Amino acid sequence: KGIVTDAFWAHGIQITSAAAANAVPVVEYTLSQILFCLKLGWRHALEIRREQRYPGRHHVPGAYGSTVGLISLGLIGRRVCEMLRLFDVRVIAYDPFATPHEAAALGVELVALDELFQRADVVSLHAPWLKETERLITGAHFAAMKPNAAFINTARGAIVAEDEMIAILQQRPDLQAVLDVTYPEPPVPDSPLYTLPNVVLTPHIAGSLDDECRRMGRMMVDELARFLAGQPLHGAVTQAKEAISA
């Protein structure tokens, strides 16, 4: 976004991306947080630090039989689906572009966005930040979440109506939010996100950092070799795909 213009497509220039390589650590981060949230790990850990004692243990759903809701079945969402197959969880998803056939191949049930928030024990956001997705997730969605449910955002903060989310998190201390991204980023100095006891902030670390960037570089070197050899590009980006990508 912001680099590829219509002139690229008009001149038939091939575009490729290292998004698949960058997706790897995002999927790893997401999976770790989904499983930890299903154990109510953050809630227990933060309560112990705050109370300086072991509080009463809350009911822990764990992974077995729980429902994970994924918003978007793009590159990252699909890989999260594949990883979740290793665990005894039910996966539901909202993606207006996914077909029933694609969902069936992933072992996922497609549902409306409202239903996803109502049913999921953990909701993980993977949608791209587009004009159409700004403030897609509203306070009403958070208000409808199950008791002790969690919300994970590794996508973009602008997709969430953060003011509305904050209001519901203040009203419902049973909910947990794990936010690797915010809008603005970082949050303003007096943002309640810094102090809410049911919010965990990480500084946009889910994607490739430091040594992880070498994977992206390796992919691009391999792509160049494929291009020079006249072979199909693994990360090829089409104009249609670029229009609905972050």
Q: Which residues are catalytically annotated?
A: 156, 185, 204
Question: How much helix, strand and coil, in percent to the nearest 5, is found in the chain?
Answer: 45, 15, 40
Distance CA 196, CA 128 (A): 26
Burial class (CB in 10 A: 0-12, 13-18, 19+), 81: buried
In this structure, are residues 181 and 204 in contact, taking their beta carbons and an 8 Å threshold? yes
Instruction: Tell how strand 15-16 and strand 236-237 pair up.
Output: antiparallel
Which uninterrupted H or E stretch holds 93?
A: strand 89-94
Distance CA 99, CA 80 (A): 18
Q: CA nearest 33: which of 193, 238, 205?
A: 205
Neighbours of 189 (CB within 10 A): 6
